[in-house]
Each structure stands twice: as C-alpha cells, then as structure tokens.
Structure 1
Amino acid sequence: MIDSPPPTPPARHPKDGERRFEEETAACEWAESYRPGKYHPVDLGDVLVDDRFTVVRKLGYGSFSTVWLAHDSAQDAYVALKILVAKQSGTSGKLPTEAAMYRFLEEKTKGDPNKKKTFESHFVKLLSTSTVNGPNGTHTCLAFEPTGPTVNDMLDELPEYKSQRWTPKMRYPVWMAKQILRGVLEALQLLHANGVVHGDVQPGNMLFSLKEGSLDKKTREELSSVKRTTDDDDDSDDNDSYFASPLADCAEFTDPDFNIKLADLGAAYVIDNPPSDNVTPVGLRAPELIFGQPRSVVDPRVLDVWAIGCLLFELVTGQRLFCVSGYPDEDDCNDDHLQDLSAYLGPLPDDLFSQWKRSHLYFRVKEDGTRVLYNCQLGGIPPGGEAYLYPLETLEEMFDKAAPEVSSSAEALQIKQLILRILQYDPEKRPTVTDILQDAWFTKE
C-alpha cells in the first residue's frame, strides 16, 4: 500500500506591497553534508558545550566547518563558534591542527611585545576549545573573537555597490586594496619569521575587524536576524539550514587605518614538517605545485607569496588573474592553468615545460628548441581537425583592460611591476613578504 502524501499547507499570500521573496545572494552549505563525519546540525537558540554557548546567528561556513555567533555565558560576551566537521576534529585528546598552531604561535610571541602585538592585531584570537557530540560524530568547537565579513563578502557592503549588485566591475578602491594586503602581509611576516606557512591565503580567510563595542550596542533580537532557507511556515526540523549573515554593519572599513585579521590556520604548518597535500585554491597555486614537486622543498614563497601576487591583481582590478575552471579531469584543469601562465607571464622555463606531459597538444618544439603555440583548444586538436587559436593577453594587457581606478599611469605601472616581481617562475627570485612591504607602492602614502 502506498502512503498518501501529507496535506498541502495553506498558502501564505503576501500582504499589499510585501515581496513574497526577498533578494538573497548569500549561499549556504549543502544539506547532504549533514551526515556522519560531516557537519553538526545547529539551530538558532541551541545551547552547546555544557550550557555555555547559546547560538544567536550564523556567520559563515566552509568545507570543514560552520561558524556561528554565540553568547558565552562563562564570559558574558559574544564569540564566533567554529564547529568543525567530525572528520577534521581532534581525537584521543589531540588538538586539531588549527588550535595546535595557535598554541605554537602564542608560545613563540609571548616573550616579545612587538610580536605579541602583531599576533593580537592581525590574527583572530582563539578564546577556547571544546567538543560537542551529535548524530554525525564528535566535533571540535573553537571559540574565537567575533569579526566582520571576509574580504569576499565585504565587497557587497561597499556603498557604491549596495544598490547595484552584479555590476561587472565590483572591486575595492585602490587605497582599500592596499590596506587589506598590508594587513595580510604583516600577519604573514610574523608567521614566516617563526617558520610557519599559512598555506591557504585567500579572500575568504581575510576578515575585517569589528568597531569597538559595536556588538554591545545591539539587542539579541537585532543580532539574530537571519533568513532561513525554507518557508517560515514550515515547522519541520529537517530544514534548519541558514543563510550566512556576516556582521557587516558592525565592521570597520571606512577608516583609512581599518584592520584586517588573517583567519583559518587549519592548513598552516611548520616548514620543517610540511603536510602531504595542500588546500590552496587552484587559481592561486604556484606552477611548481601544479607538477606536484616535493613539499619538503617548499618555502613560504611557493604558497603564501605567490598567492599574494595573484590577490594583488584581483583586489585592484576586480577580476581573478587565473580563473581556472573546475574540470573533472585534473589534466584538463592543469592544461588550462599552464596555458594561462604561459600567456600572462611568458613562456614556462624548460625545467617546468619538460614536466608538462600534454604540452605537445598545444605547442610544437622546433629543432632549435623554440616553442610555437599552435593550439589553445582544451584537449588538443581532434583527428583531422584544424588548429584553433584565440588571442592571448599578457598580464599587463589584462590589467589595463580592467581599467582600475588608480591615481595615475605611474601608479598603474608600479602595481604591474610589483605583481610581475612576485609572480616569477623561480621561487628563489620571488620577494619575501618583508620585501613586498618595503616596495615603493606600499611605502608611498
């Protein structure tokens, strides 16, 4: 016997002048990810960790965690509660990588007032660690100081874009881009000086600080204004997934000296003990990582510094430098990336080109060793087909085409030269983060 479907709930009609559906651009995690080993199900009002943390608002999510604004009854203060997926949580009393790295850096900086000040200024402060048990396993909970939106999210909050989202040229004013990067570079300077690589430098891990006392001025109701992904009339407990709602109205971004904090040390590692894999977004990976060169030879200029070069271009122009599509086949993805590298930055050096196993699909090598690009079509020329060639722009041409609002052509040239100085094929020739901070573009007010 087939069960009859449940009765359809009565339709809720909008009142006069009311929009049935509000515009919403924020995303939320996949519902299918709430399964054993993955996310811990959380609802507003939940009280976690021995009745200590009361969940008020969803701030964000990532591949390995969800983040919630919660009130900490032990400190009578708000915290950003990061709940890791069960598979990434510490077991047998062992701290997860992120918490262990914070402890390591606290020990490294506590004896030096200047280092300690930089650590507290440019890193999100870890307040406590705990665990919570749920239907999907045991999850580590990391309580951090609350912060504002990520550099990705804050772009939507800039006054010039508030009323015209989806404009093709959404980017930070140059002065803001410089201040964002300065904060990140100062954070990386501290890490690298202590032999640590961040490993995941990207806009989603760069956070704006909050205005002092901004949370205290808001009521619990004002802070918990979060839209659900399901209809308000649906009382089912199976659909409690919330849109991320960063604390944009509490963040400081108009002051010329606004502060940026670097977050997520989950991929960070000590140089002497590198991991076997990396989580750096594909478009921010240095060419040597594409070929899987041993991580034992990696220094900060392979992951962190290369990413800074790409992000300098992205924040100033409003477009990604290497927009690598997510092809299912890794070879296709790498081919796309390597062709862009060759076009934007010049021919790959011989030691890298020789490792590109499908280069023959795109280049012919003459007897004298020179290479001729004869095809840009992904996957090579089909049998009996003709070579297909589309115009390839250099990095400088892409920059000028994006027409960033710099003060002068001299400043534009200065930025392009700095990007090219960072994005060198030979990692030994790339500048350190200290070198970058001393570049004329950063030292010029």
Structure 2
Amino acid sequence: MVTTQEDDGSSEHSAVYSIHTEDEEDEHEYQPGGYHPVSFGDQFHQDRYKVVRKLGWGHFSTVWLAHDKEKNMYVALKIVKSAPRFTQSALEEIKLLEKVKETNKEAVGWNHIAQLLDHFWHQGPNGKHVCMTFEVLGESLLSLMKRFNHRGIPSAMVKRITRQLLLGLDYLHRECGIIHTDIKPENVLLWIPNVQSYLGHPSQPSDNQQQVQQSASSASLLNQTSPGSTKSRKRRVKRRIKKQQARATVSLHEECPLPLEPSLVLPSSVLDILLVHPEALDRVVVKLADLGNACWTSGDYGHVIQTRQYRSPEVIVGARWSERADMWSLACMIFELLTGEFLFDPRGGSKFSKDDDHLAQIIELMQVVPRSLTTLGEYSREFFGKNGQLRNIKKLRYRRLRDVLHDSFLLPPSEADLLSHFLSPMLQVEMEKRRAAKAMLDHQWLCGH
C-alpha cells in the first residue's frame, strides 16, 4: 500500500528560521544523535555567533537567534540533530542552498528564496552537529492566515505574494535545477524591513529583550533536564517558561497593538504597516524557505513528497514526478490564501483510504482521468480498475472550480472566471500539461486589483 508522508501538515524538516515558534520540542530528544543543548549566551564557530534566544524547532533541528560578531548583525542559527541520517540530509540541503546562493544573484527570483549565510560544524555532548545560519525572517503565511481568522487574505496581497513565489520558483526550477517538494503556507516567510533595528543592540538589550532572554534561559533548563528528571520537575519548568513568555508577550503588545500569539515575541513591521495603512499592501515581500526536502530536477523520482493537502496526483499514485509538482502545490496554496480553506482535504472512510478520497476530490474538480494517472503509477492499480474508474469510490459529485469559487465563496462571476482561468493550468492532472512558473507570470489575474 502507499506509504505517505505525515498527514498532519508537518514535514521532517520544518521551516524554523522565522520569528514564530509553537510549543517545545521533546526533551527526550536531547540525547546522543539528537538535539544539541543550548543556553542563552552560548557561543559557536570560534565565538563568532552568540545565542540571544530561541526562535523555533523542528523534528530535524532547533533554531536560535544569534548575534554575528563579525558582521555585527543578527542571524538565525540552525543546529541540526547529530544522527547520521540528519547530518547527511543537512549536507545535501547545504549543497542546494549554495546552488541557490551562487547561481544568479541578479535574478529577481533570487530575492524570494531564503538565503544561507554560513555553515560549520559544532561538537557537543550529543555528537557532531551541522550548523547553518540564515537571515532572520518574519512569520509564515500560515500565521498571516490566522491573523485574518482563516477567512482569506485580501486579494491584492495574495496576488503580490503569488507573483513573488512564481519568480522564486522560476529561479529554483529553471536556473538552479531544484524542486522544492514542500510548498505550503508554513514554508513561505515574510521579510521584515530593517529587522536588525527591531532586535536592538546586543550590548544594550531592551526590557523586552531581557524578558525574552530570561525565557530562553528557562527553556534551556527544560532542554537539559535529564531522562531521569521527575515529571513534576519538568512540569514546573514548563510552567515557568510559559509565565515568562506571557510576560514578554504582554510587554511587547503594549508597543505593538497586534493580536500576538503566546509564543510570538517579535513584532513584524510588515504587518504593522498593513494594519495601520492598508494601502501598503504592495510592500509585502515573501521568501520561500526550507529546502530540507528539496532535490535536483535531474533526478528520476517516484517517492512520496509534499504535505497531504498540497500533494499532486502523480505523487499519490506513485508515478514519476518533476518540478511541476511544485506548481500543483502552489495552486492549492493560492486557493487557501484567498478562501481560508483547503482546496483538497481528503478523509478516509471504512471502505476507502485518504488517497482514494484525495483522487476522487481531484477528479470531481478537474473532471479528467488521464492514462498517466490510471496506469503509470506504482500504485495506480490499487486505485483504478481497467476501465479507468476508481475502485473504492463509485459516486462522484462533479463541480467546476469556477462554480466552487462563485457558489461556495461568493466571488462575482467575472472574478471567479478569471481566478479559475489562472489556477487551472497549474492544476492540470496530467503533469506534462501543467504550466511552468515563468509561463504564469503574465496572466491577467496577477495584473488586476
């Protein structure tokens, strides 16, 4: 049967060098082969980078705000788990990131990919860790969607974001020969103008920074609790962390009247501008992040990629896929940004799997079942009979994308038609017919307001 990536929206290599973090990693992962224990004030790479506080974490790494003494600027320091499989993956990611950095710095799309600044090794108690530094970016599009209560982001903003992502993907695909493989809101981050000024000078921290630093130091206590620590002690440490984070959030809220989440401790000047001056929508800048699952276009691939809701049909059936899989994910994400809802949100049943339902939803919307889907995938025969019909789901309710936009989301007919005309070439079920990023840049929908 099909082996799928996690369906909860997470990937092994989370985009974690933004200012947003949720919850805490599992303290039991602080062991040989796992995370490196970090405390506020720790220094790395011959004392060049000094840790200021925690930014986030993923199943692959932890990420920390650090001050680069050499360049007198703040960076996001990503410290990868030390187990061989994580190390190897990180080294592959560095090759991809260096290709992105060096291929063509004059390309417009270069500005819409999160850039690697430095990389080095660090020996710790849990092993030898690959470390990378990145520019500090703002929160993800998922956080931005939450700010709009999952009711959709203003169309003008989505159009600007979409254009930038098309430029970024064109640069990745055509100039760098790279497939991202995990396009989703969590992996698109806001760029914050003058982010260094928000962070202040490291030798003169503000009251807010001191509270944040205290919170980071407390978090390090949790990170370093030994496997033999009592559960009650761990609960006490966690409560202390939450209280300190809450105090930092309240203080920041007084300076920045935004609906801050408990773990969000840096305001985004981009969002400040948007809330006070809606006419500044054309100033939003985003960058595509997290190449932890990326690969080269020159390869021959059939393994499972993409987070469930953004997964392309060829991946579901186990067929060969290419950079056009990214275009499918992008179309799904654009729909979600505009409406606040998934375009495809499959559910399993007693007689069919999530993959069955996913394929059914795709066929219902696009109303085509190409031979490439029914016969060329490793798992095609599990989903389709000889007549090209789904084996496990017999009754389909066909609906055009244009009708979904008009009837369910109340777009005026002309807007529904234009948006459907824009998204449909990226949602071609037959991968070879799917439009490339560069070909979408001149579409009329992107030019409207």
| TM-score in terms of structure 1 length | 0.73
The correspondence for 1:435, drawn from 421, 436, 439, is: 439
Structure 2 residue aligned with 1:300: 323
Structure 2 residue aligned with 1:102: 97
Structure 1 residues 102-251: aligned runs within 5 Å: 102-109=97-104, 114-115=106-107, 118-119=109-110, 121-156=111-146, 158=147, 161=148, 167=149, 169-194=150-175, 195-212=177-194, 213-217=196-200, 219=205, 221-223=207-209, 225-226=211-212, 237-238=224-225, 239=234, 245=264, 247-251=266-270
* Structure 2 CA distance for partners of 1:276 and 1:353, relative to 1, 3 Å: closer
In the alignment, the residues of structure 1 paired with residue 428 and residue 188 of structure 2 have an alpha-carbon distance, to the nearest angstrom, of 24
In the alignment, the residues of structure 2 paired with residue 36 and residue 288 of structure 1 have an alpha-carbon distance, to the nearest angstrom, of 38
Structure 2 residue aligned with 1:380: none
In the alignment, the residues of structure 2 paired with residue 337 and residue 371 of structure 1 have an alpha-carbon distance, to the nearest angstrom, of 14
CA contact (8 A) 2:48 2:68 kept: yes
In the alignment, the residues of structure 2 paired with residue 193 and residue 236 of structure 1 have an alpha-carbon distance, to the nearest angstrom, of 42
SS class of match (2:435): coil
In the alignment, the residues of structure 2 paired with residue 274 and residue 223 of structure 1 have an alpha-carbon distance, to the nearest angstrom, of 48
CA contact (8 A) 2:21 2:56 kept: no
Letter in 2 for 1:186: L
Structure number with greater CO (CA < 8 Å, separation at least 6) is 2
* Structure 2 CA distance for partners of 1:27 and 1:340, relative to 1, 3 Å: farther
In the alignment, the residues of structure 1 paired with residue 305 and residue 25 of structure 2 have an alpha-carbon distance, to the nearest angstrom, of 18
2:363 aligned with 1:342, yes or no? Answer: yes
Which protein is richer in helix relative to its size? 2
Structure 2 residue aligned with 1:400: 406
The correspondence for 1:418, drawn from 416, 422, 440, is: 422
Which structure 1 segments of 5+ residues have no match? 1-23, 162-166, 377-388
In the alignment, the residues of structure 1 paired with residue 185 and residue 397 of structure 2 have an alpha-carbon distance, to the nearest angstrom, of 29
Structure 2 residue aligned with 1:41: 37
Structure 2 residue aligned with 1:78: 74
1:313 Cα shift? 1.0
> Paired residues, what number?
379
1:207 Cα shift? 0.8
In the alignment, the residues of structure 2 paired with residue 136 and residue 245 of structure 1 have an alpha-carbon distance, to the nearest angstrom, of 29
In the alignment, the residues of structure 2 paired with residue 283 and residue 183 of structure 1 have an alpha-carbon distance, to the nearest angstrom, of 22
1:144 Cα shift? 0.8
CA contact (8 A) 1:89 1:138 kept: no
Residues 6-64 of structure 1: CA deviation (Å, up to 9, x unaligned):
xxxxxxxxxxxxxxxxxx99333333433433332333333333333222232222332
1:317 Cα shift? 0.8
In the alignment, the residues of structure 1 paired with residue 399 and residue 58 of structure 2 have an alpha-carbon distance, to the nearest angstrom, of 33
In the alignment, the residues of structure 2 paired with residue 29 and residue 413 of structure 1 have an alpha-carbon distance, to the nearest angstrom, of 45
Letter in 2 for 1:56: V
Residues 249-297 of structure 1: CA deviation (Å, up to 9, x unaligned):
3445623222111111222222113567454112212111112223xxx
In the alignment, the residues of structure 1 paired with residue 391 and residue 90 of structure 2 have an alpha-carbon distance, to the nearest angstrom, of 51
Structure 1 residue aligned with 2:23: 27
SS class of match (1:312): helix
In the alignment, the residues of structure 1 paired with residue 38 and residue 97 of structure 2 have an alpha-carbon distance, to the nearest angstrom, of 26
The correspondence for 1:66, drawn from 49, 62, 69, is: 62
1:411 Cα shift? 1.7
* Structure 2 CA distance for partners of 1:231 and 1:108, relative to 1, 3 Å: closer
CA contact (8 A) 2:30 2:224 kept: no
* Structure 2 CA distance for partners of 1:81 and 1:357, relative to 1, 3 Å: same
CA contact (8 A) 1:335 1:358 kept: no
* Structure 2 CA distance for partners of 1:235 and 1:277, relative to 1, 3 Å: closer
Letter in 2 for 1:128: D
Residues 79-100 of structure 1: CA deviation (Å, up to 9, x unaligned):
0111222235546xx9712221
SS class of match (1:335): helix
Q: Cα RMSD over matched residues?
A: 3.6
CA contact (8 A) 2:145 2:337 kept: no
In the alignment, the residues of structure 2 paired with residue 235 and residue 333 of structure 1 have an alpha-carbon distance, to the nearest angstrom, of 37
SS class of match (1:434): helix
Residues 100-158 of structure 1: CA deviation (Å, up to 9, x unaligned):
12222333215xxx32x541x212222111122233322211111111111112333x4
CA contact (8 A) 2:364 2:396 kept: no
In the alignment, the residues of structure 1 paired with residue 388 and residue 302 of structure 2 have an alpha-carbon distance, to the nearest angstrom, of 35
Structure 1 residue aligned with 2:283: 257
In the alignment, the residues of structure 2 paired with residue 343 and residue 89 of structure 1 have an alpha-carbon distance, to the nearest angstrom, of 39
1:436 Cα shift? 1.3
Structure 2 residue aligned with 1:357: 381
1:191 Cα shift? 1.4
Structure 2 residue aligned with 1:312: 334
The correspondence for 1:267, drawn from 268, 287, 293, is: 293
Letter in 2 for 1:309: A
Which structure 2 segments of 5+ residues have no match? 1-19, 226-233, 242-261, 275-279
* Structure 2 CA distance for partners of 1:246 and 1:276, relative to 1, 3 Å: farther
SS class of match (1:86): coil
